[in-house]
Structure 1
């Protein structure tokens, strides 16, 4: 009960903080960066290990530059995410812009629904808000519930303010069937870490054996959806674009694991372009193939 009460207090504080103007929040972000990077060293060891294993070809100096840029961006991302809880439609439309909505209309004109793989890269929360404006078709985002029900509900209320339907991972198949007679656009994170009980499939990602979900691949086979990647790019501080990158048009013509490998490869290429915008402080490789009774590898 106490924990739940503290969560409500935290949510209320987040909302009050979100009412501050962007320029002031970025001053706070600069301070947060100093505290995280220089004072507390928050998860620096995790970030350094992840960068070292992902980019063994880079020097320590090169990885140190990426690490510092990452913490600087993570501070901005944190404050921008808080700000998103009270942003107006005008602010969201101005700060996150889709570069090629014609791709979406191309598939809808063929009677195809769309599945988008996305990564924890750039400001995915702001992209989720803008997603609500993208089309008048059914728009769904699949999420992984947080440990706090209060925060999960608060975040989902924010994400769904402009028409996006939030779906828990366990409800995805049911919702896809529910809307089987409608054109839909569904977004799934391509870089979530599976629960240990579900970590069966492994592929090479950033030079490491990595447990992956087959969610996009399995769902695309059910609906024969076109598959795109939901790419986010930072234009300047606080301003982004997102691009719908076609990956697979006819999923039923692919081989097993081919779709998953294509989306993993694309995410890796994006991370290698500008690595500081991916979520390096997450323990993405905590599950090893040797921890699993019968791991399945594919390349």
Structure 2
């Protein structure tokens, strides 16, 4: 019953244009800002501590972050309508040379991004812009089974599949070794057993090493990819130079460490460049090196 109701609401939401989704996201962000007081305080404090801003400026930035991230969640409704024409009309690419070079390769690719900008659109970018025929997104499963079912329906498309992160390693590795692509959102809090602890915005954070393990095992390229909103309903595709795991010296543990550091630093750079578009209300630094802490059940994927 809950699944049918949520799907009915999602179908209604899919009738919105991208401009309507932006306006609805701004309104939802204002509502959450008023209602979610603890998350509002968490986001403001995190900005103060990690960007070194004053209280008033941090509060204003946190408010904008609420609006931007509510847009991100509602953009999931638009994913089934995304196509190459939409991307070509509305998107610019910061490094078309990287896109051109990657699109000619027959290599496994591990794509890494964060909860920043229009992350729900990233898998479609990979398929349409990079020309990769099969993309797998790895997602954290939300607590609500009904929400999980609806989100999977919206995210999955021909040639784009989404699988829960638990017990996904073998399946993803097999697909990577078949020269496919797999996408990960790598800036969520995770358990200490799944992590390497690294500095992130000036404080040690648990960084998921799973994508690095898979990238090294598949001898993959690791490509940071982000999609940022710009004025006038436009977007900018931002890619960085990929890391070729076959060129990393050292043993397997050292290679995994290097890859984890690589994508952690890539996300940090973009958060510093676009702090208003990052998910500050997330408990990013919850897991500590000296204590096991249950991570937030935030659903994350690049098939988003």
TM-score by length of 2: 0.81
* Kept in 2: contact 1:98–1:243 (CA 8 A): yes
Q: Which residue of 2 aligns with 1:263?
A: 263
Structure 1 unaligned regions, length at least 5: 294-299
Q: What's 1:14 paired with?
A: 10
Q: 2:48 and 2:217 mapped to 1: Cα distance?
A: 39
SS at match of 1:246: coil
Which residue in the other structure is 1:286 paired with? 286
Q: Residue 232 in 1 paired to residue 227 in 2?
A: yes
CA distance change for structure 1 residues 180 and 40 in 2, over 3 Å: closer, same or farther? Answer: closer
Residue 121 of structure 1 is matched in structure 2 by 116
User: RMSD over aligned Cα, in angstroms?
Assistant: 2.8
Which residue among 33, 42, 47 is the counterpart of 2:43? Answer: 47
**Matches of 2:227 and 2:273 in 1, distance apart?**
12
Q: Secondary structure at the match of 1:194?
A: coil
Residues 110 and 221 in structure 2, CA contact (< 8 A), matched pair in contact too: yes
Distance change >3 Å, CA 124–CA 291, structure 1 → 2: same
Count of aligned pairs between the two proteins: 287
Matches within 5 A, 1:1-299: 5-38=1-34, 41=37, 43-55=39-51, 57-85=52-80, 90-91=85-86, 94-95=89-90, 100=95, 103-104=98-99, 106-107=101-102, 109=104, 111-133=106-128, 134-179=130-175, 182-195=178-191, 198-236=193-231, 238-251=233-246, 253-255=248-250, 256=254, 257-292=257-292
Name the CA shift for 1:37/1:149 in 2 (closer, same or farther; >3 Å): closer
> CA distance change for structure 1 residues 40 and 278 in 2, over 3 Å: closer, same or farther?
closer
- 1:237 to partner: Cα distance: 5.2
Over 3 Å counting, the alpha-carbon distance change for 1:107 and 1:127 in structure 2 is closer
Segment of structure 1 superposing worse, 63-72 or 210-219: 63-72
Give structure 2 stretches of 5+ with no counterpart: 294-304
- Select the structure with the greater relative contact order (CA < 8 A; seq sep ≥ 6): 2
Please identify the structure whose Cα radius of gyration is greater.
1
Distance 1:191 1:112 in 2: 25
> How far 1:9 sits from its partner (Å)?
1.2
Q: Could you tell me the TM-score, scaled by structure 1's length? A: 0.82
2:47, 2:53 within 8 Å by CA — same for their partners in 1?
Answer: no
